[in-house]
Amino acid sequence: MSKWGEHWNPALTVSRRSVLKSAAAVGALAITSSGATLSVVAQESAPKRGGHFKLGVAAGATSDSLDPGTYTNSFTELFGKTLHGYLTGIDADGKVNGEIAESWDVSKDARTWTFKLRKGIEFHNGKSLDAKDVLASINHHRGEQSKSGAKPIVDPVEEIRADGPGTVVFVLKDGNADFPYLLEDFHLAIVPAKDGKADVSGVGAGGYVLDNIDYGVKGTGKRFANYWKSDAAWFDSFEALAIHDVTARTNALATGQIHAMER
């Protein structure tokens, strides 16, 4: 087994999902568990905690859901990355880093990946995160009946198993040296296990606790006091407004109704 700490894919420094290309990416990542953009902001302006952040988002529909498998737009992605933690994350330089997964080993054929989970991570409901939660979260997207947007990502997984409460092992059908990158996908939120299944009610291990959500209109969140990352979740609270029309978003920004907008 060889140790994988940081793995760099130059292609990912050029293009990510469209939501991350917009001006909203700065605001969104600054309040999410990823902390990728936030780390850059912190270095430049030494942020202080506090305040209420309002973001105008170009998407959002009444058919949206808190089920990570159903995320289809920048509004749901924002709440995914804000409410939840993920096994891995990608920083501003395109490097994959451990998030809930503190480290990992990979077999020489890149088929077997062993992830060590970070200790002391807590869900919003007070439950301590362990391997059973990871299994339930990933298995939520697997199987022939799955309609999850992440199904193509997890279909190559032949087996996933726990090796004690702090270790998760993935066995792939074929080797994939970029597998840790795939686990950052916004659908693959780690949620609590409930009766062996994924709890997709919105409870997560991210920097913000869901306060209220009105699908297709707006959603709000408050900082999670027991969030494990000290360099993220700077705002006391945030509000995401679904404003589909770019002129309306621009006017909202110009008049101070929002602090940032998605292009």
Answer whether 169's CB lies under 8 Å from 161's CB: yes
Give the C-alpha distances (Å, rounded to integers) separating 51 from 3, 81, 229, 233, 259: 41, 20, 18, 11, 11
Distance CA 160, CA 47 (A): 40
- Residue 248's Cβ-side half-sphere holds a number of Cα atoms within 13 Å equal to 9
**Amino acid (1-letter code) at residue 28:** A
What is the pLDDT averaged over residues 40-44?
A: 46
Beta-ladder partners of 104: 4, 115
Return the pLDDT at 45: 65
Return the pLDDT at 9: 41
Tokens standing for residue 194: 């409930």
Q: What is the mean pLDDT of the chain?
A: 87
More confident residue, 170 or 42: 170
Percent of the chain residues topping a pLDDT of 90: 79
Q: pLDDT tens for residues 200-222?
A: 999 999 999 999 999 999 999 99
Number of domains, the chain? 1
Candidate from 198-202, 228-232, 242-246 with smallest mean pLDDT: 228-232
Contacts of 29 (CB under 8 A, 6+ apart): 20, 35, 36, 37, 38, 81
Tokens standing for residue 73: 């737009």
Global confidence as pTM: 0.83
Residue 263 has pLDDT above 60, yes or no: yes
Return the pLDDT at 44: 58
Per-residue confidence at 29, pLDDT binned at 50, 70, 90? very low
Specify the residue for token string 């291990």: 205
Q: pLDDT tens for residues 83-100?
A: 999 999 999 899 999 999
**Amino acid (1-letter code) at residue 159:** E
Please provide the DSSP assignment of 178-214 as one string.
THHHHTT-TT--B--EETTEE--SS--SSSEEEEEEE
Q: pLDDT tens for residues 143-201?
A: 988 999 999 999 999 999 999 999 999 999 999 999 999 999 999 999 999 999 999 99
- The count of other CB atoms within 10 Å of the CB of residue 75 is 28
Torsion of CA 216, 220, 226, 231, to 10 degrees: 90
Nearest CA to 124 out of 240, 37, 239, 33 is that of 33
Domain that holds residue 229: 2-261
Nearest CA to 241 out of 55, 28, 63, 29 is that of 55
CATH of the domain at 242: 3.40.190.10
Residue 42 has pLDDT above 90, yes or no: no
Return the pLDDT at 79: 96
Beta-ladder partners of 113: 106, 170
What is the pLDDT averaged over residues 115-124?
A: 98
Return the pLDDT at 184: 97
Per-residue confidence at 20, pLDDT binned at 50, 70, 90? very low
Nearest CA to 85 out of 226, 247, 253 is that of 226
Report the 3 state secondary structure along 109-170. Answer: CCCEEEEEECCCCECCCCCECCHHHHHHHHHCCCCCCCCCCCHHHHCCEEEEEECCCCEEEE
